[in-house]
Amino acid sequence: MKFIVSSEILLRKVQLISGVLNASNTLPILDNFLFEIKKGELSITASDLETTMVTKIAVEAKEDGVVAIPAKLLLDTLKTFPDQPLTFTIDAENFGIEISSDYGKYKLIGHNGNEFPKTPKLESPASINIGSVVLASAVNKTLFATGNDELRPVMSGVYFEINNDNLTFVATDAHKLVKYTRADLKGDKGASFILPKKPLTLLKNILGNVGEEVTIEYNETNAMFGFGSTKMQCRLIDGKYPNYNAVIPTENPNKLTVSRNALLNSVKRVSIFSNKTTHQVRLKMTGSELHISAEDLDFANEANERLTCQYEGEDMEIGFNSRFLVEMLSNLDSDDVNIAMSAPNRAGILTPSEKSDDNEEVLMLVMPVMLNN
C-alpha cells in the first residue's frame, strides 16, 4: 500500500483529532491513528472507546488498504516538516512504514489496522442542524458549570433538551447552574440526552475554525457531530438529569444592575483577600451603591470596594463564592449584568442586561455562601 499526501494538510488533520487520544490506554492499539484508504480517500481515526473522531482527506493512491500508525511519533515527525509531499509506503506483511520526504527517509513499525476497535453504527438516529457559531457559544457558556463528582455522573456533562419550539442546554454542579436556550432551533420530536465533558471540550476547541453547520445525530446511547469532512461520535451519559427548573427561584424582588466588567474586576481584586477555603465575597446593596468586601480572619486580610449601580428592592447583604462569580461574569457578553435575588440564603440569578441576539437566552444561577457576621 502506497500513498502521497501534503505534510501540512496531514498535520492539520491529525492535530484536529489528536485530542481524543488518552495518555494511557487500556488497549495499546488506541495509541495509534487508524489510516484507511478507499478510492483515493484517506480516513484517519482516533478513539478512546468512549469518543471516536474520523476525518477524511484526498490522497494519491492506487490501491486500498488499512494500517495503524503510532500517533505520537507521527505527530512529532509531521510538526518538523515545511509543506511538502510525503510518500507513505506500507508493507502489508509486517506493517512496516516508510515515509519519504524531500530530506530523506524515516522508518517506523505500524500495527494491523483490523485490530482497531470498530465504531458502533448509530441505529435509527434523529438529527438536528446547528450553526457552528451557535453551538460553540452554547458549549462555551455551559461547559464551565459542569460537575466533577464521580458519584453523580449525570452532572458531569451538558444536558441537551430538544423541544418543538426551542433547544436548551443545561449544566450544573449543584453550586452553580447555567441554562442556555435558543429559540431559533427546534426538533421535529422532543428528545433529551447528556453529553460528556471530553467530547464537548474537543468541540469547543474545534468549532472556532468551522464555518459551517454542524449536524447532530443521536439515539438512546450515542451522539454524532458531523462538520465538513470530520465526524465525532461519543457515548452518552446514562441516567436521568435532575429537574433543573425546580431549583430556579421565580420570585426575586431584589434586582441589581451593574457594569459587568467593573464587577468582574472588583471581585477579582477583592477575592485575593478572601478566605482560601470558602473564597467568600460579600455583596451589600444599599440604594445606588454596591459594596464588595472580603476578609480572611486567619491572616487579618481584608478588602473593600464600592461601585455605583442601579438597585431596586430592600437593602440586603449576600455572600457568594468569588470563583463562581468570576466564571459566570467572564462567560457573559453584555456590558451590564442583572443579578436578581430574594434572600441571603437563596440563589442569585445572573442574566445579561441586553441581548446581542434575540434568539438567545442565558440564565446563570449561583448558590450563596452563608455569611458569618
Q: Chunked in runs of 10, what are the mean pLDDT values of the chain (373 residues)?
A: 96 96 92 96 97 96 95 96 96 95 96 94 92 92 94 95 93 97 86 95 87 90 95 96 94 96 98 95 95 94 96 96 97 96 96 91 95 70
> Is position 47 within any domain?
yes
Q: 104 with 184, same domain?
A: no
Residue 58 to residues 19, 109, 244, Cα–Cα distance (Å): 22, 24, 46
Cell of 202: 474537543
Q: 108 with 143, same domain?
A: no
> Is position 227 within any domain?
yes
> Is position 162 within any domain?
yes
Judging by DSSP bridges, how do beta strands 2-6 and 60-61 pair with one another?
antiparallel
In the sheet that 41-47 helps form, which strands lie side by side, from edge to edge? 111-112, 65-70, 32-38, 41-47, 51-58, 230-235, 222-227, 213-218, 126-131
What residues contact 293, with CB distance under 8 A and at least 6 apart?
Answer: 270, 281, 282, 284, 302, 303, 304, 305
> Is position 372 within any domain?
no
User: Is the dihedral angle over the CA atoms 142, 143, 145, 148 positive or is it negative?
Assistant: positive
Q: Are 192 and 338 in contact (CB under 8 A)?
A: no
Task: Give the domain-ending residue among 224, 245, 266.
Answer: 245
Task: Give the domain-ending residue among 216, 245, 274.
Answer: 245
DSSP assignments along 89-146, one per residue: EE-TTT-EEEEE-SS-EEEEE-EEGGGSPPPPP--S-EEEEEEHHHHHHHHHHHHTT-
Cell of 343: 434572600
Q: 233 with 252, same domain?
A: no
Q: 137 with 91, same domain?
A: no
Q: 196 with 225, same domain?
A: yes
What is the DSSP code (8-state) at residue 31?
A: G
Cα separation of 373 and 369, whole Å?
A: 12
pLDDT at 34: 98
Cα separation of 268 and 263, whole Å?
A: 8
Task: Give the domain-ending residue among 245, 265, 282.
Answer: 245
Which residue type sits at 348? G
Cα separation of 33 and 72, whole Å?
A: 9
Ramachandran assignment for 321, one of left (phi > 0), alpha (psi -120 to 50 degrees), beta (any other): beta
Q: 82 with 162, same domain?
A: no
Q: 103 with 60, same domain?
A: yes
Q: Please name every residue paired with 180 in a beta bridge, in sequence order, or none if there are none.
A: 169, 362
> Is position 202 within any domain?
yes
Number of independent structural domains in the chain:
3
> Is position 211 within any domain?
yes
Q: 102 with 170, same domain?
A: no
> Is position 121 within any domain?
no
Q: Is 319 exposed, middle or buried (0-12, 13-18, 19+ CB in 10 A)?
A: buried
Where would I find the H helices in 223-334? Answer: 260-271, 322-330
Q: Which residue has the cell 455522573?
A: 153
pLDDT at 107: 96
Residue 336 has phi, psi (to 5 degrees) of -115, 155
Judging by DSSP bridges, how do beta strands 280-286 and 289-296 pair with one another?
antiparallel
Q: 357 with 312, same domain?
A: yes
For 141, the domain range is 126-245
Q: 195 with 266, same domain?
A: no
Q: 240 with 256, same domain?
A: no
Looking up residue 75, the CATH number of its domain turns out to be: 3.10.150.10
Cα separation of 287 and 13, whole Å?
A: 57
pLDDT at 211: 75
Cα separation of 292 and 256, whole Å?
A: 13
Q: 227 with 253, same domain?
A: no
pLDDT at 180: 97
pLDDT at 251: 94
What residues contact 335, with CB distance under 8 A and at least 6 apart?
Answer: 259, 260, 261, 353, 354
pLDDT at 373: 61
> Is position 142 within any domain?
yes
Cα separation of 64 and 41, whole Å?
A: 9
Cα separation of 200 and 157, whole Å?
A: 9
